[in-house]
Amino acid sequence: MKTSHYIQTLQSFLRRPFPEATNLSTYIKTLFIIALFVSLFLGLIQPFNMDQVEDSTWKYAILFGAITFISGITYELILRYVFKMKKEGESYTFFKWTLQVIGLLIFISLFNYLYLAFEFNMPLRGLLYMMWATFLVGVFPTVFIGTISMLKSEKNNSLIAASLNKKAVLHQPAVHKSSIFDLSTDNIWFLESLQNYVNIYYWNGEAIEKKTERSTLKSCEGLITNTTLLRCHRSYIVNTAKIESISGNAQGLKLKLSDYEILIPVSRSYIPLFKA
């Protein structure tokens, strides 16, 4: 019974939404911290018989840290610009992030092996050894930083959601009446981006209905000044007057609208608009 409980707890943890990918500069800063840890670990602890090398231990410690940094950037650029991998949405979980970390460590292992093969003629069977050594050094700081990042984001966003749930200003009426695509903004629940089209979810008098218009959210933003419609995500504009409750997870906030079951996301960059 306990084993089953632990398995369910682990599965639940792995399915938790992971913070959406930050911009490349933030990733580079995080990667630099990891590379610095690798250099310090190798230089101070001197594992894998590094104390027996003829040259300075710190020389190779710094070198392997640099390899970690360069290969990590290369790996991220390939994911972003070659495979067009998106790290966002409910489907981007801690489990998927962990798989990407494993891929990163394999990639770093390959770079480490190529250097040693070039410098010391390491045979091909040494690749497995390099993978083991790289995982041993890199997996703990990487997973630790990722776990702390996820838990911290969850806590912060949950606190923000709790604060906003008490904020009556979200439910105040619009400053003045307006309309978009012949629909009163009072009757619009939210707008959803669909490439060069916009799905408009509105109240038809009996239920929420959807209609599609050829437009973009960017152009719609110019039509919602002084209304209760607010941009909350790169793919959504929401009517704040229809918000029933707000919850938070590692990726941002989730909005529960009246008479609508699917939650609307609020990405981290738009949270300050709701706090204002």
Task: Label residue 168 by pLDDT band (50, 70, 90).
Answer: low
| Range 258-267, long-range pairs (CB < 8 A, 24+ positions) | 259/189, 259/203, 259/207, 259/208, 260/189, 260/201, 260/208, 264/190, 264/232, 264/233, 264/236, 264/238, 265/89, 265/232, 265/233, 265/236, 266/232, 266/233, 266/238, 267/20, 267/232, 267/233, 267/234
Question: Looking at domain 168-275, which of 3.40.50.300, 2.40.50.1020, 3.40.50.20, 3.30.460.20 is its CATH number?
Answer: 2.40.50.1020
pLDDT the model gives residue 173: 52
Read off the pLDDT of each residue in 79-100 and give the average, rounded to a whole number: 90
pLDDT band at 166 (very low <50, low <70, confident <90, very high): confident
Q: How many CA atoms lie within 13 A of 6 on its CB side?
A: 3
**Is residue 260 within 8 Å of 236, Cβ to Cβ?**
no
**Amino acid, res. 107:** F
Give the residue-averaged pLDDT of 101-108.
Answer: 94
Q: Six-digit token pair at 66? A: 């640099």
- 10 Å Cβ neighbour count for 48? 15
269 vs 254: CA distance, rounded Å: 14
pLDDT value for 62: 94
Q: Which residue has the tokens 């933003």?
A: 221
Average confidence (pLDDT) over 176-184: 79
What confidence tens digit (pLDDT) does each residue in 26-59 have? 889 989 988 998 899 999 988 887 777 767 889 9
pLDDT at residue 178 tops 60: yes
Range(s) within the chain of domains with CATH label 2.40.50.1020: 168-275
pLDDT reading at 265 higher than 80: yes
Residue 139 in this model has a pLDDT that exceeds 70: yes
Residues forming beta bridges with residue 184, ordered by sequence position: 179
pLDDT at position 172: 52
The DSSP 8-state label assigned to residue 120 in this structure reads H
Give the model's pLDDT for residue 175: 53
Q: Cα–Cα distances in Å, from 185 out to 79, 181, 208, 241?
A: 40, 10, 14, 10
pLDDT, one tens digit per residue, over 213-255 is: 999 999 998 888 888 899 999 999 999 999 999 999 999 999 9
Task: Please classify residue 261 by burial: count the beta carbons closer than 10 Å to its beta carbon, then call 0-12 exposed, 13-18 middle and 19+ buried.
Answer: exposed
Higher pLDDT: 235 or 171? It is 235
Tell me the average pLDDT of the chain: 89
Complete DSSP assignment for 206-238: SSEEEEEEE--HHHHHTT-TTSSEEEEETTEEE
Do 13 and 94 contact (CB within 8 A), yes or no? yes
- Tell me what pLDDT residue 262 has: 93
pLDDT at 177: 62
| Rounded distance between C-alpha atoms, residue 104 and residue 112, angstroms | 12
pLDDT tops 90 at residue 170:
no
As to burial, measured by CB atoms within 10 angstroms (0-12 exposed, 13-18 middle, 19+ buried), residue 70 is: middle
Percent pLDDT > 90 in the chain is 56
